[in-house]
Amino acid sequence: MKDLRTGFSRLAEHWVFMQDGAPSHKAEETQNLIRDNVPEFIKVDISPQRDNGEWPPNSPDLNVMDYSIWSILEAEACSKSHQSIDALKKSWTKAWNNISQDVIDRAVDDFPKRLKKCIEADGGHFENN
């Protein structure tokens, strides 16, 4: 697992990890992985009858994976078609392993600027140039 914690620890002494309401984020396996690897995070009630609780439904402007990393992974892992789910998983894993920690650190370093833009836009849409 690439280390996002290193980058965020450079930004602030205390931080809390939170995801948005994507179904994969609410999965029990995901919640357990995060609980076991992140010192403090805002969990969600994973029962199907519950909404996202304190989580936003989505937050691509404030999600390091959404605003930076997914496009890199998709470009590398999906540049050709795959004959099976297993082949696709292997391609995603290879693409993830090829992303340097420096690329992740730069994406994390962009986060404070994005937070400022979000505050200036009163939580609405903003462009981050």
pLDDT of residue 68 exceeding 80, the answer is yes
Q: Is 30 part of a structural domain of the chain?
A: yes
Total tally of structural domains belonging to the chain:
1
Q: Is 68 part of a structural domain of the chain?
A: yes
pLDDT, the chain, mean: 78
With a CB cutoff of 8 Å and minimum separation 6, the contacts of 120 are 126
> Which structural domain range is residue 107 located in?
4-120
d(CA 96, CA 108) in angstroms, rounded, equals 16
Helix intervals (H) in the chain:
4-11, 23-26, 28-37, 64, 70-77, 85-98, 101-109, 111-120
Helix axes 101-109, 4-11, angle to 10 degrees: 30
Q: Is 129 part of a structural domain of the chain?
A: no
| pLDDT bracket for residue 120 (50, 70, 90) | confident
Q: Is 127 part of a structural domain of the chain?
A: no
User: According to the model, what pLDDT value does residue 117 have?
Assistant: 85
User: According to the model, what pLDDT value does residue 33 have?
Assistant: 87
Q: Find the CATH number of the domain harbouring 65.
A: 3.30.420.10
pLDDT tens by residue, 24-58: 877 888 888 888 887 777 777 655 555 555 566 66
User: According to the model, what pLDDT value does residue 55 have?
Assistant: 60
Per-residue pLDDT, averaged over 106-113, amounts to 85
Q: Is 103 part of a structural domain of the chain?
A: yes
Q: Is 128 part of a structural domain of the chain?
A: no
